[in-house]
Structure 1
């Protein structure tokens, strides 16, 4: 009996059928034994491997993960736990992870849940571990979720994908580009700069705050204020609305674009113009950022690369010979209309 693989060959006058290793071998001009060895991940000549991969592409081959698991004795499903998948950053991270897993021959089973609900986390983990999975990818941003993952024993490889913030005094993590934002504002003459930070229980928010403070120290400045939001536009609006007039800065660095949007609206309600009276910047470069009024100066981050890196690191534990994802691109400062020179 020949081995079958799922494919999508085009048949003008008949139904679609799955390709066999004989079909692939014929298209590649190699033996069916070579195709079988390729499917098992065995070593072979690079020229033979190239021919087979070209044939698979021609036949629109899609790997049958169930059949592959029977052949190799190893699952090709990865469980992924995430949260706030409706938000810009987390959604792109999952997109990058899903693509990377698929390209490596794995299926990513995504479970979106409330990371602040410990019971829900435990229930999701229990359900995932009932299935035959190759590993677990946990995208976590909160302290409580990380604690749950770190205190759970797993029978499969696990990667907890979250920002670290246990740095030595004086160190800071410049993965958000906030240092470049501060340098940009200082170059425009600003000295009274306020930061709208994210939730204190999020490591990413703490890192962005520490980067902001370190950047100010580098320029021999002190913060004009630090207020905390919850990443939403509403929280950005409320924090700036609550400031006394005498506490208003000349520039605002929001930890994400949504809070920057709320800040711009709050300033408009107070009769202030951006950037003529106060400059406002964000982080993330969401698709809407160029269409803010005014368009938002922000930092472009490669969230998809974060997802690819996470999958690559997990696959290194599952398959030590798996290729590793290269370092993600550096943050890119995108200067638009919401930042301008300090008015004398």
Structure 2
């Protein structure tokens, strides 16, 4: 019994103290270990036996303890933060690649900080790097850097991986094999008996669009087929519709390879409005295999990009650099796409 007949006070606990967040000492007391052991478990800096680790993890979760990021960075030399610079999130490939990068990072001890430059200029890229550096990132993934030439000097010593970049940058890269995908689409249409294949291409400053267009032309020439003039869109269904109005007026057009599914959607609508049916009059193939492609009318033949693999490969390559893996290199990893045949392509009439 305390003095003056008062009950003894219970020790203060984080749950009882609403003005103080739980500390490492609180976790140590609950788990029955030292604060140094808690630090080892939280930072992963040393081996701790499984039973002790489980007790610490349970205490962390029960108390809602959040490690001091700055202190952990000083101790480990790492901030456990990955920066991502991504352009034009309206584009399916960019949005899906970003989604897959975030998903891959969530299975690690790292977090993600995303910057979306409002302009595709070298100054905008450097500004994005400065903003990410101010948030203390350990490395950066650049998602479809159309304007990242070999002459652009990025911050020295910061690990970088480039997704769908050009051929002249000197950083490790990951990309879909856009040329192989285009070849599959064009060979499929030629194999159905079409005398040639027209191409609704993406923007001229897009590396993926250029690779797809170059492969389209290469396959036609190898087959001895005529090479029609390229029609360019901007990845949107509206631009596909505008191009479709032009192509619908050409009776010699019996097959079109669109550089993405959204443009293919606009193209199909324009052909329908002009009284030309798909695939009876014109076969249409797209690229991306967006979730809605199977529900187009008719369902769209397209090229499936394995963007989950692309995102996972980006994160794996960046973490190899961050962790100092001696096998990390500056090569470019290609992910092979596949053809998905649906009802929008068929042999030509007659």
Tell me which interval the TM-score lies in, with the shorter structure as reference length: 0.7 to 0.9
1:267 is matched with which residue? 271
2:73 is matched with which residue? 69
Shift of 1:24: 9.2
1:252 is matched with which residue? 256
Q: Secondary structure at the match of 2:135?
A: coil
1:1-344 to structure 2, matched below 5 A, reads 36-42=39-45, 44=47, 48=49, 52=53, 56=57, 64=67, 65-142=69-146, 145-147=147-149, 150-165=152-167, 173-174=177-178, 177-243=181-247, 245-246=249-250, 248-321=252-325, 330-344=336-350
Q: 1:118 to 1:164 in 2, by over 3 A?
A: closer
Q: Deviations over 1:163-211 (max 9, x none)?
A: 3446xxxxxx555622111222122111221011111111111111122
Shift of 1:235: 1.3
Number of positions where the alignment pairs a residue of Structure 1 with one of Structure 2 = 321
Q: Deviations over 1:224-275 (max 9, x none)?
A: 3321111111111112312473464210000000111111111112110000
2:12 is matched with which residue? none
Over aligned residue pairs, what C-alpha RMSD do you find? 3.7
In the alignment, the residues of structure 2 paired with residue 154 and residue 317 of structure 1 have an alpha-carbon distance, to the nearest angstrom, of 13
Q: Deviations over 1:269-300 (max 9, x none)?
A: 21100000000010001111111111111111
Q: Secondary structure at the match of 1:146?
A: coil
Unaligned runs of 5+ in 2: 1-14, 169-176
2:4 is matched with which residue? none
Checking the alignment, whether the CA contact within 8 Å between 2:299 and 2:344 is kept in structure 1 is: yes
Shift of 1:221: 2.2
Unaligned runs of 5+ in 1: 1-10, 167-172
Return 51-60 or 102-111, whichever deviates more.
51-60
In the alignment, the residues of structure 2 paired with residue 278 and residue 111 of structure 1 have an alpha-carbon distance, to the nearest angstrom, of 41
Shift of 1:74: 2.0
When normalised by structure 2's length, the TM-score is: 0.76
Checking the alignment, whether the CA contact within 8 Å between 1:136 and 1:157 is kept in structure 2 is: yes
In the alignment, the residues of structure 1 paired with residue 104 and residue 58 of structure 2 have an alpha-carbon distance, to the nearest angstrom, of 17
Bigger CA radius of gyration: 2
